[in-house]
Amino acid sequence: MFVELVRKRRSVREYKSDPVPREMLESCVEAARYAPTACNTQCCRFFIVEGDLKNRIVQECLGEPPVPNRWALQAPVIVVLATARNLVTHRLAAGLKGIRYDLVDSGIAGEHFVLQAVELGLGTCWLGWFKKKRLKKLLDIPAGWDVPAMITVGFPLNEPGDKDIKPVDGAVEYRR
């Protein structure tokens, strides 16, 4: 059941050193590519980073208090989520409506990626506290693109525990 898969997803910050097979990563990207995007711009781009460059990302783009994120060094893969922003949808329409459609799009796509990773027995953790300018430079990402998040990927060292969630009453309001 889908809800079982969703419940299994936890942020994983300790990984085995085993590499992640390329087919697994590609299947996660495929799941992400099926995500809806505003005006179907399909603006999300995935940089899959391993090895020395991944370590440089951790050393040069993470590490700032109060969320040092140094644990990410253990992850065999970091996926850098980028959005190739489109003039009409992501600048004009977004400006008119005050909604960052590119951020909505990349959030949905990123979570598709994450849930497929869970399905394959992988662990992930979203990263939102990093030096964006430095990261864009390291990966040579075009100036007009945004980089809203990174996601660590690898085989979890431990079985993730259950998650406590706030009572649903606090999250939902019915109106008519």
Residues binding ligand FMN (CB under 6 A): 10-11, 13, 67, 69, 125-129, 149, 163
Beta strands in 15-174 (DSSP E): 44-49, 77-83, 123-127, 146-154
Long-range contacts from 162-169, C-beta under 8 angstroms, 24+ separation: 162/7, 163/7, 163/10
Indicate the residue whose CB is closest to ligand FMN.
128
Q: How far is the CB of 172 from ligand FMN (least distance, A)?
A: 18
- Are 48 and 77 in contact by the 8 Å Cβ rule? The answer is yes
> Which residue, 43 or 78, has its beta carbon nearer to ligand FMN?
78
| Shortest separation between residue 87's beta carbon and ligand FMN, angstroms | 25
Which CB sits closer to ligand FMN, 5 or 67? 67
Tell me which residue of 27, 126, 122 sits closest to 78, measured CA to CA.
126
Q: Who's near 108: CB < 8 A, 6+ residues apart?
A: 35, 36, 37
Provide the minimum distance between the beta carbon of 144 and ligand FMN in the complex, in angstroms, as a whole number.
22
**Nearest distance in Å: CB 156, ligand FMN:** 11
**Could you tell me if 54 and 131 are in contact, meaning their C-beta atoms sit under 8 angstroms apart?**
no
